Homo-oligomer: A and B are copies of this chain.
Amino acid sequence: MQTAAAADRWSRRRAEKRRRLDGIRHLATGAVLRSDAIVPALEALIGPGDRVVLEGNNQKQADFLSRALSQVDARKVHDIHLIMPSVSRPEHLDVFERGIARKLDFAFAGPQSLRISQLLQDGAMEVGAIHTYIELYARLYVDLIPNIVLVAGYSADRQGNLYTGPSTEDTPALVEAAAFHDGIVIAQVNEIVDDVADLARVDVPGDWIDLVVQADRPFFIEPLFTRDPRHITPMQVLMAMMAIRGVYERHNVQSLNHGIGFNTAAIELILPTYGEKLGLKGKICRHWTLNPHPTLIPAIESGWVESVHCFGGELGMEAYVAARPDIFFTGRDGSLRSNRALCQLAGQYAVDLFIGSTLQMDGLANSSTVTRGRLAGFGGAPNMGHDPRGRRHPTPAWLDLIEGDDPLSRGRKLVVQVVETFQAGGRPCIVESLDAVQVGRESGMPLAPIMIYGDDVTHVLTEEGIAYLYKAGSLDERKSMIAAVSGVTPVGLTHDPKRTDDLRRRGLVALPEDLGVHRHEATRSLLAAKSVADLVTWSDGLYDPPAKFRSW
């Protein structure tokens, strides 16, 4: 039936993959690539213009491979289209300066955001789009199907079976796109073992991986989700108290995602004190989707937390997580299994609430962490911080946000934006126009890079009070509710205090006293742990903080 020519016409990717792998057979023993041959191997395996996925991840970095990629001969490998969840290391951008890469699609670029802006201005880089993490994974299966995927793990056997370690993160989602579309997958590992039985566990089957290579040193990983309790202020404690009484308790929040920051760390740390006193243990905050925040340890130890599913791991939390398998997802080896794609799904479709802080919010609750001159990207916040309208199953909290009695109404995810009215230094955080609007214009982006849109925000929480935005009857009312909790910022000053009284009476805005929150109680003494050392004690010595968080 099928002629050879017809088969050729429809299997070009497969033939090309075979051709390239044949070209480096002398540099490998089976699936094991010689470490000292990584540069010539990449030169043979990557073609000009290829789509190359590089695991620059939120935490885990395929840095041996990225350093090697930056050393290839740009006459052989050039104009590649680099696809990266997170652009975080200098060599990720060196490849653009050297002409090896031409186009970038990415989700996040914290430390390298300034340099990306410069490369764009210099014409040395073209940006496809800035995504959230899951959008980027999704496109790997649709219109950004990769030719090459470069990832990192702890160890592999000689057949390519991969153990990622606790930070599995994006690896499976990145690998699958190439493994099942005749792309080439290369994994760097810290160690190669002989047999699958010698691996701690298998996170990705060897079947999906073409080549493994031992890195010159263990992959780089960053403790992004650790917040030192010493830096939590009494004002943050006050806001945490308001969150617990005015949001979690009021709406019966069972499952949730905390963004990263001192505001949410404060909430985590007063659950075992303030939350306990209110008799809320076992009644709220039982199921979590978040990285293993060290500041969650006291709540776990005092029995608040039934389960935690993680996007990624966190340096120092390995032994603690491994000793709490009823709470965390762990593998046969006993250590954490994280999975960013699944945790993003869980955070969108299975939790009642997202709460996160922002540095800048406008009078309609639009917010962004983008500031001038930096293209920082989106990461995962927009996915957590929106109302997933494809959801159909109800929970008490989700249903509680329905106003009125239309049978065609639907519940809403609680999206809580936490913002202190002023930053240190006296700059207002609640502003008339976001910096992001100007950044978008100046960078030639089709739309302003908004992190969380105001129309998805259900609650704004400041040190002044809570605006229950989902109850707003009009855009004008919404504005005045936000202004009512905006203090003496320009937005707050537009507000008529008499209107606040009316909004409070109608339950649209609540001040601490309306919630039974006593300002005088809002001191650091409510924090179940006041330092990283306290967290270590709570953990029974299992938490092993990175050096930069140690003061002892």
Chain A residues at the B interface, C-beta cutoff of 8 Å: 1-2, 6-7, 10-14, 129-132, 134-139, 141-143, 145, 161, 173, 176, 179-182, 201-208, 254-255, 286-287, 289, 307, 309, 323-327, 329-332, 337, 339, 341-343, 345-346, 348-351, 364, 366, 378, 382-394, 399, 407-411, 437, 440-441, 446-450, 453, 456, 540-542
| B447–A342 touching, CB < 8 Å | no
Residue of B141, B161, B205, B392 near A309 (CB, 8 A) is B141
How many angstroms between the C-alpha atoms of A392 and B378 in the bound complex?
8
How many angstroms between the C-alpha atoms of A161 and B196 in the bound complex?
12
Residue of B142, B329, B386 near A141 (CB, 8 A) is B329
| A289–B1 touching, CB < 8 Å | no
Instruction: Tell whether A7 pairs with B337 under 8 Å between CB atoms, given A131-B393, A143-B350, A440-B407.
Output: no
Residues of B within 8 A of A131 (CB): 392-393
| A382–B390 touching, CB < 8 Å | yes
CB of A344 to closest CB in B, whole Å? 8
| A182–B349 touching, CB < 8 Å | no
How many angstroms between the C-alpha atoms of A207 and B540 in the bound complex?
30
30 inter-chain pairs at a CB distance below 8 angstroms, sorted by A residue, are A2-B540, A2-B542, A7-B323, A10-B323, A10-B324, A11-B325, A131-B392, A132-B349, A134-B349, A136-B393, A138-B345, A138-B349, A141-B289, A141-B350, A179-B331, A180-B329, A180-B331, A182-B325, A202-B207, A205-B205, A366-B408, A382-B390, A382-B392, A384-B390, A385-B390, A386-B389, A388-B388, A392-B449, A407-B437, A409-B447
Residue of B202, B342, B453, B540 near A408 (CB, 8 A) is B453
Instruction: Tell whether A391 pairs with B132 under 8 Å between CB atoms, given A143-B286, A324-B10, A408-B450.
Output: yes
Residues of B within 8 A of A137 (CB): 342, 345
CB of A236 to closest CB in B, whole Å? 27
Tally of this chain's copies: 2
Instruction: Tell whether A180 pairs with B337 under 8 Å between CB atoms, given A13-B325, A437-B407, A540-B6.
Output: yes
Residue of B132, B207, B254 near A201 (CB, 8 A) is B207
Residue of B181, B309, B341, B448 near A407 (CB, 8 A) is B448
Closest to A541 in B: B1
How many angstroms between the C-alpha atoms of A408 and B433 in the bound complex?
10
Residues of B within 8 A of A324 (CB): 10
Main secondary structure of the interface of A (DSSP, over half): loop
| B139–A325 touching, CB < 8 Å | no
How many angstroms between the C-alpha atoms of A407 and B366 in the bound complex?
12
CB of A444 to closest CB in B, whole Å? 12
Closest to A539 in B: B1
CB of A390 to closest CB in B, whole Å? 4
CB of A413 to closest CB in B, whole Å? 10
Q: Which 10 A-B pairs have the closest CB atoms?
A: A129-B393, A138-B350, A138-B349, A202-B205, A383-B390, A142-B350, A180-B337, A202-B207, A141-B309, A180-B329
CB of A252 to closest CB in B, whole Å? 13
Closest to A129 in B: B393
Instruction: Tell whether A135 pairs with B342 under 8 Å between CB atoms, given A325-B11, A453-B410.
Output: no
Residue of B2, B327, B387, B450 near A10 (CB, 8 A) is B327
CB of A302 to closest CB in B, whole Å? 13
Residues of B within 8 A of A307 (CB): 142-143, 145, 181
| A287–B143 touching, CB < 8 Å | yes
| B287–A142 touching, CB < 8 Å | yes
| A205–B161 touching, CB < 8 Å | yes
